[in-house]
Structure 1
Amino acid sequence: MAILEVNNLEKIYTTRFGGSSVQALRNVSFSVEAGEYVAIMGESGSGKTTLLNILAALDRPTRGKVLLEGRDITSISEKELSAFRRNNLGFVFQDFNLLDTFNLMDNILLPLVLSGKKYHEMNQRLKPLASMLGISELLYKYPYEVSGGQKQRAAVARALITHPKLILADEPTGALDSRSSDDLLQMFGRINQSGQTILMVTHSVKAASHAGRVLFIADGSVFHQMYRGNSTNEEMFQKISDTLTSMATGGGLHG
């Protein structure tokens, strides 16, 4: 069953005085099944960040619809948007977006505090999550006291603690060293295997090679897509690299 449906999405940005316009997205359509792990790739300026912002209900399209479990998120009122995002979407960012004045535990629990959950329930959710992510011993430390990889683990915990329908990850390995990136990607694999749907925007071929499907975006459109099938991560890495080379040289792939 499709948990996310993107139908004929277009986004046109017009300059302040209406003198010129830029089309960031052109007729983008795709769906994501419940439990899928999808990576979105494309060069800078391809439209993938605009797409992610619309999927996150941070921006609205010029035309088209985005349905999350059948509900059109593009028509939700501004008043309801914050609660909708908090209750349905989990976010993992390149720069972690942790509050330095909060320890890791308070950062992780913040979405539940804002939702008015009781302390007992928050604690029940936190303990197994912190254990799974290997940060139980770090919960009372502040972001500036831990490594980049540990910050990202806390950010993943914050994204998962609301039991979101969809995790949106924006370049989640972008600020990590190689070892921390490997750890995070293995963690995403385990999280996905537990049934969590993940949509990740990335420049990293290595990160994308862990996904079950890769969507390639060029000039605001879905240019091509690739399914893992029985491919290993190494085989996916090579296929993705070949596709990106073909895109860069004007090859004849089609979405």
Structure 2
Amino acid sequence: MAVLEVQHLKKIYTTRFGGNRVQALADVSFSVEQGEYVAIMGESGSGKTTLLNILAALDRPTSGAILLEGTDLGMVKESGLAAFRRDNLGFVFQDFNLLDTFSVRDNILLPLVLSKVPYEEMECRLTPLADKLGLSELLDKFPYEISGGQKQRTAAARALITNPHILLADEPTGALDSRAADGLLRMFGQINREGQTILMVTHSVRAASHAGRVLFIKDGEVFHQLYRGKKTDDELYQNIADTLTMITTGGDR
């Protein structure tokens, strides 16, 4: 069953006075099934960031449709978008987006507070999630007191505590050292095996090699895709690297 359906997305940006038109997305279509782990890759300017912003309902497409669990995001009123994102989507950003004046506990619980979830339920959700992500001993600390990897796990916990239909990750390893990045990717793999659907935009071949499917965006379209099948991480890594080389040297699909 498809959690996410993307149908013929096009995005054209027009300058303030209409002098120039820039086409960021030309015609993007794909779907993400329940429990999939999909990575999106592409060169700078390929349209992948624009695509993620539209999937996150942070931007509107010029044309086309996005269906999340059957709901057309284009039909969600502007006044209801923030609540829709909070209730249905989880976000993990490269720069963490944590509030320094909030403890780790309060950062994680923020989406539930905004949704007015009862305190007892918040605690019931927090305890097992903090245990799973190795945050139980850090809940009373503040973001400036913990490492980059711990900050990113905190951000992941905040994204997961709402039980989102899909977790959207934007360069989640970009601000981490190699050890912290490997730890985060192992965690993503674990939560995916437990059923969480993940869509990750990344420049990192190593990060993408942990996914089950990799989509390559070029010139605003899905240019190619790779499936893991029975490949190891290292085998998929090599396939991804070869595909990126093909794209940058102007090869065909």
TM-score (norm 2): 0.99
Corresponding residue SS for 1:191: helix
- The C-alpha deviation readout for 1:178-228, integer Å capped at 9, x for no partner, is 000000000000000000000000000000000000000011110000000
> Which deviations, in whole Å up to 9, do the C-alpha atoms of 1:67-106 show, x marking residues without a partner?
0011101221111101100000000000000000000000
1:251 to partner: Cα distance: 1.1
Q: Which runs of 5 or more residues in structure 1 are unaligned?
A: none
Mapped to 1, the partners of 2:224 and 2:51 lie a distance apart of 16
Letter of the structure 1 residue corresponding to residue 244 of structure 2: L
Deviations 1:8-63 (A, max 9, x none): 00000000000110000011000000000000000111000000000000000000
Distance (Å, rounded) in 1 between the aligned partners of 2:145 and 2:3: 38
CA distance in 1 between partners of 2:123 and 2:94 (Å): 27
User: Which whole-Å CA distance do the structure 1 matches of 2:252 and 2:110 have between them?
Assistant: 47
2:170 is the counterpart of 1:170 = yes
Identity %: 73
Match of 1:98, SS state, is coil
For residue 84 of structure 1, what is the amino acid of its counterpart?
F
Partner in structure 1 of residue 96 of structure 2? 96
Distance 1:252 1:56 in 2: 30
Amino acid of the residue matched to residue 169 of structure 2? A
Q: Which residue of 2 aligns with 1:183?
A: 183
Cα distance in 2 between the residues matched to 1:105 and 1:44: 35
Give me the CA root mean square deviation: 0.4
Pairwise mapping of residues 63-82 of structure 1 onto structure 2 (< 5 A)? 63-82=63-82
Task: Specify the code of the residue in structure 1 equivalent to 2:189.
Answer: G
Q: Provide the residue aligned with 1:149 in structure 2.
A: 149
Paired with 2:14 and 2:79, the residues of 1 have a C-alpha distance of 25
AA paired with 1:205? V
Other-structure match for 1:13? 13
The unaligned stretches of length 5 or more in structure 2 are: none
Q: After TM superposition, where is structure 1 displaced by more than 6 Å over at least 4 residues in a row?
A: none
Q: Distance in 1 between matches of 2:139 and 2:15?
A: 45
Q: TM-score, normalised by structure 1?
A: 0.99
**1:158 equivalent in structure 2:** 158
How far, CA to CA, are the matches of 2:190 and 2:80 in structure 1? 32
